[in-house]
């Protein structure tokens, strides 16, 4: 989760991630107990950059101290949970030891990789950026879409065969939203997904972040002829942008007016 804080500084990335406000304390405790995050510690040195890795003996001690801290955090989180404290605060104690699931969509990755796949970046972020670059490089040739075709995360071939395009967009929104509090393993319930879509859309204010990952290509141009941006995307229009009032403001741009 500390790495997520650094990733969130990149405004061109649309993302949804596991939320400490949504996941029950007992679930987070179980995950941290069975699979805590343990850093690959490095030496301190002046400035922001980490130094070389610790020697084996120091590394062993550092990891023991880290695990001891995780056990203390787990114990305190359980006690707070037993008191009925809302799950956000026990979750804070477990942040340093927690992994996060996230779905991220973007058309521009150059700045992210130049910043985060760099020797001055946090080592964990360097590793994440390296894995992302490898995944993108080995995923095969990109699939080109035409106007009217949609990029829809979490939509499988069986969904395309059984659902209309409108239903596919709704299901994709819901499944992106579910990253906040659950995994994508096991059986998917299309009816539940569509019901969740409508809850997100009908909420006041609307919950729009899961609507930013679905997009269709557009050939809109700026005055100089270059491909236009629509929100964070270049050459693509987010599903969110087709929904009236998606920004939370009325047409005149003054909050609270008709």
Q: Residue 253: what pLDDT?
A: 46
The pLDDT score that the predictor gives to residue 156 is 92
61-70: long-range contacts, CB 8 A cutoff, minimum separation 24:
63/38, 66/38, 66/39, 66/41, 66/97, 67/36, 67/38, 69/96, 69/97, 70/32, 70/36, 70/94, 70/96, 70/97
Q: Note the pLDDT of residue 184.
A: 59
pTM of this prediction? 0.88
- Closest by CA to 177, choosing from 19, 63, 5, is 19
**Distance (Å, whole) CA 24 – CA 39:** 25
Two structure tokens written together for 120: 């001055």
Average pLDDT per 10 consecutive residues for the chain, totaling 258 residues: 89 92 89 94 88 94 97 96 93 93 94 92 92 94 92 95 97 93 70 95 93 95 92 95 83 45
Measured on CA atoms in the order 157, 155, 113, 237, is the torsion positive or negative?
A: positive
pLDDT on residue 68:
98
What does the DSSP 8-state code read for residue 216? E
User: According to the model, what pLDDT value does residue 258 have?
Assistant: 41
């Amino acid at each position: 989760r500390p790495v997520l804080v650094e990733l969130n500084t990149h405004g061109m990335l649309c993302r949804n991630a596991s939320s400490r406000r949504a996941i029950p304390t007992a679930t987070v405790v179980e995950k941290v107990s069975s699979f805590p995050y343990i850093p690959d510690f490095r030496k301190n040195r002046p400035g922001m950059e980490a130094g070389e890795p610790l020697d084996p003996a120091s590394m062993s001690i550092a990891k023991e101290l880290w695990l001891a801290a995780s056990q203390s955090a787990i114990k305190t989180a359980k006690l707070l949970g037993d008191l009925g404290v809302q799950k956000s605060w026990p979750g804070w104690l477990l942040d340093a030891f927690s992994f996060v699931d996230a779905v991220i969509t973007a058309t521009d990755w150059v700045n992210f990789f130049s910043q985060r796949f760099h020797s001055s970046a946090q080592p964990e972020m360097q590793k994440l950026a390296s894995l992302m670059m490898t995944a993108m490089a080995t995923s095969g040739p990109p699939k080109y879409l035409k106007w009217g075709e949609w990029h829809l995360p979490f939509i499988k071939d069986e969904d395309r065969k059984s659902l209309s395009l409108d239903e596919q967009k709704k299901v994709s929104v819901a499944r992106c939203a579910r990253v906040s509090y659950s995994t994508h393993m096991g059986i998917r319930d299309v009816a539940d997904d569509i019901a969740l879509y409508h809850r997100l859309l009908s909420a006041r204010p609307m919950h729009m972040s899961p609507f930013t990952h679905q997009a269709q290509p557009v050939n809109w141009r700026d005055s100089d002829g270059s491909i236009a941006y629509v929100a964070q995307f270049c050459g693509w229009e987010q599903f969110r942008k087709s929904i009236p009032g998606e920004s939370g403001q009325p047409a005149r741009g003054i909050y609270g007016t008709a």
